Amino acid sequence: MPWHEENQILGTAERLALLRGAGALFDLSGWEPVGSMLEDVRMALHGSGGMTRGEFRRVLQWADRWQSIDPRLRALYGTQKDSTASCPSIAVEAALWAIMGGHGPISGPCYAVLRERWSDQYGYPPPIEMAPMPEESK
């Protein structure tokens, strides 16, 4: 897909913002949507690819959403480095899509798996929402 110059990210401030966003999302690099996004950022920063304004905004939005959730959730979900079709992996992926997509809370079997995973890691039931809705989506 050709990149049009008017859509490319060229300014120093935008490059720095992309670096900040990429750094914030690094713990999620094993999750395919973020891994692909980080590769696009790398290519744009090295001048071997382009990035539209929409893609630029999505990197920053996802970075903000990821950083806005409880650090314990980031620790729980950021350890998701494989894409195997195990139940915990599917539940974490559902939670990440809910958080990053701004869809908010999840329920049912996925929520039960996430609660169990939290309890296994922290030794007590989760006192917070497992897939919180980002503030700008409320």
How far apart, in whole angstroms, are the C-alpha atoms of residue 120 and residue 138?
30
Is 126 domain-assigned?
Answer: yes
56 shares its domain with 92: no
Stretch 52-77: mean pLDDT: 92
Tell me, yes or no, whether 88 and 116 share the same domain.
Answer: yes
For the chain, what is the domain count? Answer: 2
Write out the DSSP string of 54-121.
HHHHHHHHHHHHHHHS-HHHHHHHHT-------HHHHHHHHHHHHHHTT-----HHHHHHHHHHHHHH
Q: Please say if the pLDDT value at position 86 is more than 70.
A: no
Q: What is the pTM for the complete model shown?
A: 0.82
Residue 53 and residue 97 in one domain: no
Q: What is the pLDDT of residues 63-74, one digit of tens each?
A: 999 999 999 999
Domain range for 44 is 1-68
Instruction: Tell me if 55 sits within 8 A of 92, measured CB to CB.
Output: no
pLDDT tens, residue by residue, 109-124: 989 999 999 999 999 9
pLDDT category, 3, cuts 50, 70, 90? very low
